[in-house]
A and B are shown apart, each in its own frame.
Chain A
Amino acid sequence: MGFWTGLGFTLLISAFLILPVLVSVLPGITANQFEGLSSGLTTRWLREVWANYGGTVLLSLQIALSTLVITLLVGVPAAYVLARHAGVTARLVEEALVMPVAVPGIATALGLILAYGAVGDLRASWLFILVGHVVFCLPFMVRAVLAVLLSMDLKGLEEAARACGASWPQRFLGVILPNIAGGMLAGSLMVVTLSLGEFNMTLLLHTPFTRTLPVGLADAYTALRTEMASAYTLIFFVLIVPLLSAMQWAAGRADRVGAVR
């Protein structure tokens, strides 16, 4: 296959994939969706979405960032402990970590509701959704950091730092953290992206007062307000596309660093 044929083919496929995105976003900035672009561009729908659903965007960001902080605080030490222990238990835990990913979100959500739904005011609080997102996202953080820890000479580096006189906090902050920063970055982008887009589990966990962006988006679509849903989708893209690009960039960078070693 010639270069030009190949290029044409690739562009065609890209167009095929991008078309639905454009179609779903365009009405959101078009004055009259039935007349098309000739009716002019407008920010009216975006402003209306913000007035009606602004809270869901903020809540989604709040949940995503909280999930990130918790998965970092729990996931990094957990990955470190798993990397340090060669035993069967550590490998079993590592395997068990994929479980929340394999189990459907709806099942996890039902489990959470049955187990904690009656605990105090938790059910009505955004913290309930946060718990679900942490359960769902934690394995991704642990795996990303663990992969880096296992690819480096962890034991050797720690012993070398100890031989230099470094206490545990000194070597963790000065040697281990800087060397796993790439894994933490990759894990963080993954967690934020997953949390922002999570729908299955959140649909069951939310209440009318704790709606996240994807849940609100579904609501807008079912309300048959296409232009609103479109504008809403655009807001979602603006949040998620930079994250996805950053994720690609971080993965490429990690590959290059890995190749040098």
Chain B
Amino acid sequence: MSVAIKLRGCGKTWPGGTVALHPLDLDIAAGETLVLLGPSGCGKTTLLRLIAGLELPDAGGQVLFDGEDVTRLPIERRNVGMVFQSYALFPNMDVAGNIGYGLRVRGIPRAEVARRVDEMLEMTRLTEFARRRVDALSGGQRQRVALARAIAPRPRVLLLDEPLSALDARLREELRQEIDALLRSLGITAIYVTHDQAEAMALSDRICAMERGRIAQIGTGRDLYHRPANDFVAGFVGDTNRLGEELVRPEQLALHPSAEGEWTVQRATFLGPFVRVKLRDAAGRELMVDMPDLATPAPGARVEVRRRGPA
């Protein structure tokens, strides 16, 4: 049931003149999970809403689902599922009512709706909350209702706009794994918007990194991390050191105490899984090195820096 999506020349200019998206092409394979990653205001939501059918692209833009031109098809006729950043649950319906809404408006018989809703409740571990009002749910539970409501009608595409951004870090990690497992088991084409690079890495088949209304790079998490197309991508997916022309990640370097070393330790910060050491040389250049918390050098110590084995 999942579809391949193609965007051709899709730009978006708002009435005020703001160019949210410069005309762009994008190909998403059937069943793929593509993450749109970028800082706030770079156009991720706008791109997602074009694919959803909530916005029209500027003249000349085309959205294709399995080759069919759906550019002018409004969202209610595109058969997509969408999870909104604010969840937008219906306050006049209980949990089961929310989840079954997409089935009821499609005129599916009641017995079938009930069966499908039960299945969704179980899948999202909400069975005991079926009759609960949505304003009496925790953030994590609301998020799961929004997800269940979106997938209940078996949409062709699932669109998620920063679905975890309203949750605290611990819950975010837990729900991220649940969403990941769900997307894998459904095999649905999914587009997931986030500004969190760890979330992007963990969930994606491919990441589409965006910068000010343009696609900066599309590739796997590894591609973006190890072969970033430009400084923006390099900096967005992790911290970097510049060694001449080359970008090197802090964990790709290793320290060796040495009286003749050209680098001096400025500061060592304990970050849990590793210690980040800031170095400076006589010329004032700076370097960041991540190392295990075993033999952390003291500030002022002289060290040599070498690359670790092949990354």
Real binding pair: yes
Of A156, A159, A174, the residue contacting B101 (CB under 8 A) is: A174
Of A153, A156, A170, A178, the residue contacting B92 (CB under 8 A) is: A178
Whether a CB of chain B sits under 8 angstroms from the CB of A261 is yes
The answer to whether A163 touches B80 (Cβ under 8 A) is yes
| Contact residues in A for B88 (Cβ distance below 8 Å) | 153, 156-157, 159-160
Whether a CB of chain A sits under 8 angstroms from the CB of B74 is yes
> Which DSSP category, helix, strand, loop or mixed, fits chain A's interface?
helix
Give CA–CA (A170, B104) in the complex, Å. Answer: 10
Query: C-beta contact mask, A150-166 vs B, less than 8 Å → 1, else 0?
Result: 00110011011111111
Give the nearest-CB partner of B100 in chain A.
A164
The answer to whether B101 touches A161 (Cβ under 8 A) is yes
The answer to whether A260 touches B135 (Cβ under 8 A) is yes
Whether a CB of chain B sits under 8 angstroms from the CB of A175 is yes
Nearest chain B CB to A210's CB is how many angstroms away?
A: 41
Give the number of residue pairs across the A-B interface with Cβ within 8 Å: 65
Of B74, B92, B149, the residue contacting A162 (CB under 8 A) is: B74
The answer to whether A165 touches B92 (Cβ under 8 A) is no
Give CA–CA (A74, B89) in the complex, Å. Answer: 28
The answer to whether B105 touches A163 (Cβ under 8 A) is no
Give CA–CA (A159, B146) in the complex, Å. Answer: 13
| Contact residues in B for A222 (Cβ distance below 8 Å) | none
Of A153, A156, A165, the residue contacting B105 (CB under 8 A) is: A165
Query: C-beta contact mask, B61-87 vs A, less than 8 Å → 1, else 0?
Result: 000000000000011110111101010
| Contact residues in A for B54 (Cβ distance below 8 Å) | 159, 162-163
The answer to whether A157 touches B150 (Cβ under 8 A) is no
Of B52, B91, B106, the residue contacting A165 (CB under 8 A) is: B106
15 further A-B contacts with Cβ under 8 Å, apart from A160-B84, A160-B89, A163-B150, are A156-B88, A157-B88, A157-B90, A159-B75, A160-B88, A160-B149, A162-B75, A163-B76, A164-B76, A165-B76, A165-B102, A165-B105, A166-B76, A178-B92, A179-B92
Residues of B within 8 A of A (CB): 52, 54, 74-77, 79-82, 84, 86, 88-92, 101-102, 105-106, 135, 149-150, 153
